Amino acid sequence: MASRKTPRLSRRHFVTSLFVGGAAATAGSTALRSSPAPSGAPATAAAAPVSSDWVEAARAQIPALQRSLYFQSGAYGPSPHRVMNAMKAALDLQNEAPADPKIIAQITDLENLCRTRIARLTGADPTEVALTSNTTTGLNVVLWSIDWKAGDEIIIGDEEHPAMLLPVYNLERRFGVRRRVVPVGDPSRVVAEVLDRLTPTTRLVALSHVSRGSGRTVPGRELAAALRARNVRLLLDGAQGPGNVRVNFREIGCDYYSLCGHKWLLGPKGTGALLVRPDALEATPISWTGSRAQATFDEVGNVTWLPDARRYEFATRNSAGFAGLAEALGWLDELGWDRIHARIIELAGFATQAVQASQHLAMTSPIAAEARNGIVVVRLPAACKATAAYQTLSQEDRMLLSPVTHPQDIRISVHFFNLPQEIAAVIDRLDRYAAAAVAKA
């Protein structure tokens, strides 16, 4: 539900103070000069909050920022040049002699580097990381590992992405699985809501870690502990997790965490990973497989799988993509996760303030600093459709946002490379869009 707050500052005053050096304009940046002038924003950008040299240097690496005001990291993150270069270098290396054992070994090293860096980012062990093509693949590995019987139950959240919904609908049709849905709108209630729905036939709980439609985070640690005590496994959909919020797989304690490289981690499209706890391996049988998943096999039906999460990988894969993701992770690590996360929270707070200053817009995503992350979801007035606003802003203003589940909700994915001037410009534009729609209604 949207939280509508009394504006603390008028929108006009908010935007003006940003651009002429008011209260919000203390830690300067001149970077908007190198970005397209946002429509509706003053042409000259003066000092603005919370930017500094490291942000400027990072922005210079990301070509997509020259073209648009980029607020779509929750869909597809824009990669820096060095990620593209690392991919190209891996493709060139592979193409020198794809079947040469020396080249194969070097390419495998790049995949393993990616695995190690994913593990480092997520507080997992490299043996707990299966490389995948996307978040959805990891969800399917887990969803299909269960020998479902008619009447078995799965608990999911009421804000799931089609990446979760469609495989679950498929299980319903294929095996007669029953879906039970928990409201996740109030994170403090999620554990109780899940426990309320547990039955002796519950085989799995599967939820988004961070909701793509509201930015709310489920209390993974508490939920994992409660379910472990009841011997029920927990799968978290982490598509909107790593890169946006801190994730520590071991600390959360869930059985499975599926993530992708192509959103907040700014990696190549079509890269991801599934994290699997070692003690869940045996209870998570393989559903589809092939060469390279095995430790040993013979021609008469014997097979032993790799002893770790790599058993869920098989066959030829997108090695250059993993080389690119390894590069993205190395780069973000160099930039420093502490300041990346601090900046995301600061910018999201800044966006929140701008929305609260509007007469027409309201916040759907969390307002409190401790609950905030880069997913800022704005509720437009009833006279607007978020899909139409998205089309208009992308085509006319080169502002890339995303409509989400609620017809009036539009998501502004705020990453560390975004500028406060950009945020002010986009919210100003949404405000004018909403005002025009209200006046016309």
Ligand X SMILES: Cc1ncc(COP(=O)(O)O)c(C=O)c1O
Interface ranges with ligand X (CB under 6 A): 75, 134-136, 161, 163, 208, 212, 237, 239-240, 260, 272
Nearer to ligand X, 107 or 207 (CB): 207
C-beta of 159: minimal distance to ligand X in Å? 8
Give least dist CB 131 to ligand X, A: 13
At closest approach, how far in Å is the CB of 157 from ligand X?
10
Q: Which is nearer to ligand X, 1 or 165 (CB)?
A: 165
Rank residues 226 and 260 by Cβ distance to ligand X and give the closer one. Answer: 260
Euclidean distance between CA atoms 14 and 424, whole angstroms: 8
Is residue 276 within 8 A of residue 255, CB to CB? The reply is yes
Instruction: For residues 416 and 301, give the distance between their C-alpha atoms in angstroms, rounded to a whole number.
Output: 52
Q: How far is the CB of 184 from ligand X (least distance, A)?
A: 11
Smallest distance from ligand X to CB 272, Å: 5
- Rounded (5°) CA angle 432-438-439: 90
- Give the whole-angstrom CA distance, residue 18 versus residue 81: 30
8 A C-beta contact, residue 21 and residue 49: no
Q: How far is the CB of 161 from ligand X (least distance, A)?
A: 4
Nearer to ligand X, 138 or 420 (CB): 138
* Minimal distance, residue 135 CB to ligand X, in Å: 3
At its nearest, how many Å lie between ligand X and the CB of residue 382? Answer: 25
Within 8 A by CB and 6+ apart from 404, the residues are: 212, 213, 214, 377, 386, 410, 411
Q: Are strands 153-157 and 402-403 parallel, antiparallel or unpaired?
A: unpaired
**Residue 358 CB, nearest approach to ligand X (Å):** 26
Nearer to ligand X, 132 or 408 (CB): 132
Q: Which is nearer to ligand X, 160 or 428 (CB)?
A: 160
CB-wise, 79 or 358, nearer to ligand X?
A: 79
Closer residue to ligand X, CB minimum distance, 45 or 207:
207
SS3 sequence of the chain: CCECCCCCCCHHHHHHHHHHCCCCCCCCCCHHHHCCCCCCCCCCCCCCCCCCHHHHHHHHCCHHHHCCEECCCCCCCCCCHHHHHHHHHHHHHHHHCCCCHHHHHHHHHHHHHHHHHHHHHHCCCHHHEEEECCHHHHHHHHHCCCCCCCCCEEEEECCCCHHHHHHHHHHHHHHCCEEEEECCCCHHHHHHHHHHHCCCCEEEEEEECECCCCCCECCHHHHHHHHHHCCCEEEEECCCCECCECCCHHHHCCCEEEEECCCCCCCCCCCEEEEECHHHCCCCCCCCCCCCCEEEECCCCCEEECCCHHHHCCCCCCHHHHHHHHHHHHHHHHHCHHHHHHHHHHHHHHHHHHHHCCCCCEECCCCCHHHCCCEEEEECCCCCCHHHHHHHHHHHHCEECEECCCCCEEEEECCCCCCHHHHHHHHHHHHHHHHHHHHHC
Give the residue with the Cβ less far from ligand X, 58 or 265.
Answer: 265
CB 260, min distance to ligand X, A: 3
Of 135 and 352, the one with the shorter C-beta distance to ligand X is 135
User: Which CB, 65 or 273, lies closer to ligand X?
Assistant: 273
Closest separation between CB of residue 143 and ligand X, Å? 13
Token look-up 């988004």 returns 208
